[in-house]
Amino acid sequence: MNARVSASRPAGRVAKPAAAQEKPVAEWQLRLYVAGQTAKSAAAFDNLKRVCETHLAGRYTIEVIDLLVNPRLAAGDQILAVPTLVRKFPEPIRKIIGDLSNEERVLVGLDVQPAR
């Protein structure tokens, strides 16, 4: 499983350090693509963090990729819109675009069972 995930990444790709990286292999691997430190990207990160802490506490990693810094990474995950949240694992890959302000839709999009 782990091998497959890393194999899907192009060689020589440098990921930004994840914001919450307690475990080497998390059950939920999420990646958030943003373009610069805009209000929208900040909102998206905050929203995502809140949802994850609420429903996936301790079982997730979030990798934030700033496309302004690493523009070449946009093609790999077919990113057009920002912010885009990509659920890399568990498969299949799912994408949620927008600032993730609607918690319900984020949960549906990530296919996460609400904790309560």
Partner 1 sequence: MARPPKTTKTSVPEAPTLPKAPTGIPGLDEITGGGLPRGRPTLICGSAGSGKTMLAAEFLVHGAVEYGEPGVFMMFEENAEELAQNLRSLGVDLDKLQKQKKIAVDHVHIERNEIQETGEYDLEGLFIRLGHAIDTIGAKRVVLDTIEALFSGLPNHAVLRAELRRLFRWLKDRGVTAVITGERGEQSLTRYGLEEYVADCVILLDHRIVDQVSTRRLRVVKYRGTEHGTNEYPFLIGKTGISVLPITSMRLDHVANSARISTGIDGLDDMLGGTGLYRGSSTLVSGAPGTGKSSVGASFVDAACRRGERALLFAYEESSSQVQRNMASIGLDLGQWERQGLLHIDASRPTLHGLEQHLVHMYELVRQVKPSVVVVDPISNLSMDKDDRALKPTLMRLIDYLKQQGITALFTSLTSDLAADVADSQVGVSSLMDTWILLSNLAGNGERTRTLQVLKSRGMPHSHQVREFVMGNKGVDLVDVYLSGDRVLTGTARISQVAQEQAASDLRRRDHERRIKELASHRKAIDAQIAALHAQAEERAGEVEFAIERERLHAEGASARSRAIAQSRDVPPPRPRLPVSAAPKKTSRKAAK
CB of 35 to partner 1, least distance (A): 4
Identified binder of partner 1 from the candidate list 29, 32, 33, 62, rule CB under 8 A: 33
CA distance 96 to 85: 5
Assess 25 for contact with partner 1 (CB under 8 A). Answer: no
Q: Which amino acid is at 36?
A: G
Assess 83 for contact with partner 1 (CB under 8 A). Answer: yes
CB of 39 to partner 1, least distance (A): 10
Assess 63 for contact with partner 1 (CB under 8 A). Answer: no
The tokens of 34 are what? Answer: 């943003």
CA distance 6 to 17: 15
Q: Which amino acid is at 19?
A: A
Identified binder of partner 1 from the candidate list 3, 11, 75, 115, rule CB under 8 A: 75
Q: What angle do CA 67, 95, 45 make, to 5 degrees?
A: 55
Total residues binding partner 1 (CB under 8 A) = 34
- How many CB atoms are closer than 10 A to CB 33? 25
Residue 85, helix vs strand vs coil: strand
User: Residues interacting with partner 1, by CB under 8 A?
Assistant: 33, 35, 40, 43-44, 47, 67-68, 71-72, 74-75, 78-84, 92-102, 105-106, 108-109
